[in-house]
Structure 1
């Protein structure tokens, strides 16, 4: 099953997450199919903290991909900010 989830990157104490479409059997930070966006929880100033490619996210959802709970929360947050 394809799942859209966070893959952690960044340095120690400076997390950075890619929002990726991946096979659910692969490791959290392992191989993925496509990068859909990113989330930077420690963004300072006018840096972008959340970016999601809505078209690609909709494509993956149409084809049966499941959102992880955290990504679902971030998508809702991004939609609220865009409106």
Structure 2
């Protein structure tokens, strides 16, 4: 069966985001897929597109055909985006989660250092 590069709908009702996937052309839209190539969040302002163009080129050379929407998204990604679609820009929600992880790790390191300092003071 021929492979197809298409969008897989994620998210909840009226709040969609999509993953760019390689899937068998006979499988359903949200069904089984072979590989995830990136994601597209159309509701953020500007819309965010993160896609691995090297893997896209690999699958195109293997004979996979992109859907119409994915074809236009790939073209925008190759141009570096436009005023409507930002390419490769980090999602603010993801950045917020990463900052929270850094803060938690730093606080844990500070607590460990304070405990070691206190233990050294008791030993002396």
| Aligned twin of 1:23 | 24
Task: Give unmatched runs, 5+ long, in structure 1.
Answer: none
Q: How does 1:35-74 map to 2 (within 5 A)?
A: 35-44=36-45, 49-74=48-73
Deviation of the 1:2 alpha carbon: 0.1
What's the Cα RMSD here? Answer: 1.4
Paired with 1:54 and 1:44, the residues of 2 have a C-alpha distance of 23
Computing the radius of gyration over CA atoms, which structure comes out larger, 1 or 2? 2
Give me the TM-score of the superposition, normalised by structure 1: 0.90
> Greater strand share, 1 or 2?
1
**Secondary structure of the structure 1 residue equivalent to 2:58:** helix
Matched length? 80
Q: Distance in 2 between matches of 1:77 and 1:57?
A: 13
Separation in structure 1 between the aligned mates of residue 12 and residue 45 of structure 2, nearest angstrom? 16
Aligned equivalent of 2:110: none
Between Structure 1 and Structure 2, the one with more helix by share is: 2
Residue deviations 1:40-63 (CA, integer Å, cap 9, x gap): 001147xx7101101111110010
> Which structure is richer in relative contact order (CA contacts within 8 A, separation 6 or more)?
1
What TM-score comes out, normalization by structure 2 length? 0.61
